[in-house]
């Protein structure tokens, strides 16, 4: 099949992937896994697309707040809105969780799932990443898009399991990753079935259903997938539980951890990134059998 991962450099990480896939797909081999059990899970922010300087979700939230303030200028006087628009993170932090929930409810709730999807799609169509100066649909990592496709061609079912908002990801995951909505797991608001002008819809409520990070990741894999994955890819401590759960079953398994060590082509960070630190997972990768991927060393190309 030629070179299935052209944006990956030869090396330990690429070999680990190719060897693993060869083993689990070899019909008469000792590590064969039937296609239905070839479940691969990927974190999204920092694993499939750029999460620096802040996650795409945060850019979306800020743009939505700006739009809401245009529609209702009195909002600008509410403390969380005021702090956010002034980039006053100290005040935002001091206002705490209720302030974040107020911003979240204003931008991600009070509308049907379908209405939110329209807003999200419209935003993705025009918004641009301020640092990378391109549409958010183009801040995805090319080696990962190749990997997703390689796995699917080898009979894997690919899932996203991310702390990002489930509906925002679902609005683009099919186009940019080839992953349909039913294979996207993320943080979610509670939904309420109701009639909107006589039409049955699902309303997004301003109440958290699940914050899909750390232990919640394997727990949501249990709820949504119901099968232990055999392949996991993450980039932060938030993915460690999911990687350990993946590695904890019998037979051949592979967990990969992306290390952002490429200041020239992207960003170099790990322990110091407050929004999603990489510390425990990096220190204990060897102990847990997690394969490290160096962006600098292992990726020939970063962006598409």
Residue 286 sits in the site that holds its own copies (CB under 8 A): no
- Pattern 218-257, binding to its own copies, x per CB under 8 A? xx--xxxxxxx------------x--xx-xx---------
**Could you say which of 25, 188, 294, 296 contacts its own copies (CB under 8 A)?**
188
Which helix (H) or strand (E) segment holds residue 259: the answer is strand 254-261
Stretch that binds its own copies, among 17-25, 72-80, 201-209, 273-281 (CB under 8 A): 201-209
SS3 string, 128-178, reads EECCCCEEHHHCEEHHHHHHHHHHHHCCCEEEEEEEEEHHHHHHHHHHHHC
User: Which lies closer to its own copies via its Cβ, residue 71 or residue 182?
Assistant: 182
Q: Select 54 or 202, whichever has its Cβ closest to its own copies.
A: 202
The token duo for 299 is 């990726």
13 or 242: CB nearest its own copies: 242
Q: Which stretch binds its own copies (CB under 8 A): 18-26, 56-64, 100-108, 192-200?
A: 192-200
Query: What burial class does residue 47 get, using C-beta atoms within 10 Å of its C-beta: 0-12 exposed, 13-18 middle, 19+ buried?
Result: buried
Q: How far is CA 112 from CA 75, 116, 117, 118, 292, in A?
A: 22, 6, 9, 10, 41
Q: How many CB atoms lie within 10 A of CB 227?
A: 14
Applying CB under 8 A, which residues contact its own copies? 36, 39, 113-114, 157, 166-167, 170, 174, 180-184, 188, 190-193, 199-202, 209, 215, 218-219, 222-228, 241, 244-245, 247-248
């Amino acid at each position: 099949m030629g070179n299935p991962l052209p944006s990956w450099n030869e090396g330990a990480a690429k070999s680990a992937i190719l060897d693993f896939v060869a083993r689990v797909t070899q019909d008469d081999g000792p590590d064969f896994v039937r296609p239905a059990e070839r479940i691969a899970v990927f974190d999204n922010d920092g694993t499939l697309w750029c999460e620096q300087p802040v996650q795409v979700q945060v850019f979306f939230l800020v743009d939505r707040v700006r739009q809401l303030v245009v529609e209702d200028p009195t909002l600008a006087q509410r403390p969380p809105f005021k702090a956010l628009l002034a980039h006053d993170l100290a005040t935002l932090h001091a206002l705490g969780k209720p302030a974040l929930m107020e911003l979240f409810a204003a931008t991600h709730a009070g509308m049907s799932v379908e209405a939110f999807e329209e807003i999200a799609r419209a935003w993705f169509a025009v918004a641009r990443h301020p640092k990378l100066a391109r549409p958010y649909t183009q801040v995805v990592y090319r080696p990962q898009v190749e990997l997703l496709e390689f796995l699917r061609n080898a009979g894997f079912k690919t899932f996203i399991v991310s702390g990002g908002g489930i509906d925002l990801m679902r609005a683009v995951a099919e186009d940019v990753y080839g992953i349909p909505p039913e294979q996207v797991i993320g943080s979610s608001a509670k939904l309420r079935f109701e009639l909107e002008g006589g039409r049955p819809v699902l309303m997004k409520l301003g109440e958290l259903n699940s914050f899909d990070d750390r232990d919640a990741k394997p727990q949501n894999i249990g709820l949504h997938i119901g099968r232990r994955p055999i392949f996991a890819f993450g980039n932060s401590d938030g993915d460690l539980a999911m990687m350990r759960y993946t590695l904890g079953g019998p037979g051949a398994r592979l967990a990969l951890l992306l290390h952002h060590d490429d200041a020239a082509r992207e960003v170099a960070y790990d322990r110091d990134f407050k929004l999603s630190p990489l510390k425990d997972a990096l220190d204990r990768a060897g102990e847990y059998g997690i394969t490290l991927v160096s962006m600098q060393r292992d990726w020939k190309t970063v962006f598409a």
